[in-house]
Amino acid sequence: MAYDPAVLRAGLAVVERRAGQLTTYFYTHLFAHNPGLRRLFPADLDEQRDRLFAALTRLVARLDEPDRLTDYLAALGRDHRKFGTLPAHYPAVGASLLAALRHFMGHSWTVEDEKSWTGAWTVISEAMIGAAAAVPPGTPAWWDADVVQRRRAAPDVAVLTLAPNRPYPYTAGQYLTLCSPRVHRVWRPYSIACAPRPDGTVDLHVRRVPGGLLSTALVNDVVPGERVRLGPPIGDAVLDPASRRPLLAVAGGTGWAQAKALVEQLALDGGRPATVLLGARDDADRYDLAALHDLADRHPWLEVLLAVPAGRADRAEAVELLQEGLHGLGDCSGRDILLSGPPDLAPELTDQLLAQHAEPELIRHDPVPHTFDRARPLTAPEWFLADRDVAWINRTDLA
């Protein structure tokens, strides 16, 4: 092995209490020695610090699991294509990473640390470069797309229709990552809210997140004619093309986008029994009712159930109402099941579905990150060690 995992973990333990200073040093060193790389990063580097060290700590945690480490590095390598990352960039990043660690470990830095961190970065960079190079020739690293329409569907939700500049080969149920020139180099994931169309356009349902730079721009400011950038389609919460089992889609809030795509695909495939259980916190949160009613009216095989409180409900009340609706369905065995919505919804409903005899292998949802808490921890050790969501990574490959 080119590195000693114990040495790497010990090194992280030494620097954890100065994590904020270390990351500032790393980026200062990187840009001072490689000023051309600054354009590849967002203007605000606060979140970028989380990206680097969420990935770094996850890598160190998986050093004893070669298979998972390989998958993780391959996902990172493929995903970095959309950032414009080139093989020549990796040595520069590695040199700055070692410089930062060497500086903040001080007298604790040894020949073994130098050897292990150099070896670890060599393994990491070679795996990422190899994964990017293995992408089939002609596969775009990103797609530019024109905003055809922005429709305010609710006070905090917009439906965007986008026209990619070349064919966008996705499957209903997948999601994509998106960035806009309005918020330089900030990427976020959004479910594709339609089955593939003859005209090649795609719909996204975007909810404005408090403090969210990109979601606020997409909901409030983006206008038709603007151009955004799309990463490759990802995700495997799609229909089994060989299945004729009834579909149960349980969705909360903008999770309806993914469920809608699957229902449209069922219609294209000739239809089969499907039930959509849609939860919301209030009437305003049921933002796409016209489309929902239209689908139900046109397709007799589709049953739609709404779980909406009489007045505004908090999250716990809305989930409880959704659970009551799910309980009313009784035995869920023999169904293909999709769960979509807030990231913590799927784990809460999975246990209930299993108790209602659903087969675990038939339950699908997008990978659930450990946390979507974007609040910054109070202390440096908390900030450094917190297992945080990294929204720009292909979560499917990391599950």
- What CATH number is given to the structural domain containing 253? 3.40.50.80
Q: Are residues 132 and 147 in the same domain?
A: no
- Each residue's pLDDT expressed in tens, for the chain with a length of 399 residues: 578 888 998 998 898 788 788 888 999 999 999 999 999 888 878 766 666 666 777 777 777 777 778 888 888 899 899 989 999 999 999 999 999 999 999 999 999 999 999 999 998 999 999 999 999 998 999 999 999 999 999 999 999 999 999 999 999 999 999 999 999 888 999 999 999 999 999 999 999 998 889 999 999 999 999 999 999 999 999 999 999 999 999 999 899 999 999 999 999 999 999 999 998 877 667 788 889 999 999 999 999 998 877 667 677 787 888 899 999 999 999 999 999 988 778 888 999 999 999 999 999 998 765 443 444 444 544 444 444 444 434 443 333
Rounded (10°) angle between helices 66-79 and 46-61: 150
Q: Which residues make Cβ contacts (< 8 Å) with residue 364, sequence separation at least 6? A: 173, 236, 237, 238, 336, 337, 338, 339
Instruction: Write down the pLDDT at residue 174.
Output: 96
Tokens linked to 202:
């795609």
Q: Output Rg (C-alpha) for the chain, integer angstroms.
A: 23
CA 291 – CA 111 distance, rounded (Å):
64
Q: Are residues 275 and 360 in the same domain?
A: yes
Q: Which residues make Cβ contacts (< 8 Å) with residue 212, sequence separation at least 6? A: 188
Structural domain contains residue 77: yes
Structural domain contains residue 190: yes
Instruction: Write down the pLDDT at residue 370.
Output: 46
Q: Are residues 133 and 153 in the same domain?
A: no
Structural domain contains residue 236: no
Domain count, the chain: 3
Q: Are residues 23 and 111 in the same domain?
A: yes
Single pTM value for the model: 0.83
Residue type, 233: P
Residue type, 346: A
Tokens linked to 331:
């035995």
Of 230, 259, 275, the one marking the end of a domain is 230
List the CATH number of the domain containing 45: 1.10.490.10
Nearest to 283 by CA among 251, 254, 306: 306
Structural domain contains residue 298: yes
| Beta strands 302-307 and 274-279, pairing class | parallel
List the CATH number of the domain containing 172: 2.40.30.10
Structural domain harbouring 321: 247-364
Structural domain contains residue 128: yes
Q: Are residues 254 and 292 in the same domain?
A: yes
Instruction: Write down the pLDDT at residue 54.
Output: 66
DSSP state of 253: G
CA 283 – CA 309 distance, rounded (Å):
8
CA atoms within 13 A on the CB side of 172: 21
How many separate helices (H) and strands (E) can be counted in the chain? 13, 11
Residue type, 316: A
Can you give the length of the chain in residues? 399
Structural domain contains residue 393: no
Give the three-class secondary structure for 203: strand
Structural domain contains residue 394: no
Q: Are residues 19 and 49 in the same domain?
A: yes
Q: Are residues 310 and 208 in the same domain?
A: no
Instruction: Write down the pLDDT at residue 319.
Output: 84
Instruction: Write down the pLDDT at residue 369.
Output: 57
Q: What is the largest CA-CA distance in the chain?
A: 73
CA 52 – CA 57 distance, rounded (Å):
9
Q: Are residues 13 and 127 in the same domain?
A: yes
Structural domain contains residue 95: yes
CA 151 – CA 77 distance, rounded (Å):
35
Of 195, 230, 265, the one marking the end of a domain is 230
Instruction: Write down the pLDDT at residue 315.
Output: 74
Instruction: Write down the pLDDT at residue 53.
Output: 64
Q: Are residues 258 and 277 in the same domain?
A: yes
Of 186, 203, 230, the one marking the end of a domain is 230
CA 38 – CA 21 distance, rounded (Å):
19
Q: Are residues 259 and 332 in the same domain?
A: yes
Q: Are residues 11 and 129 in the same domain?
A: yes
Q: Are residues 226 and 273 in the same domain?
A: no
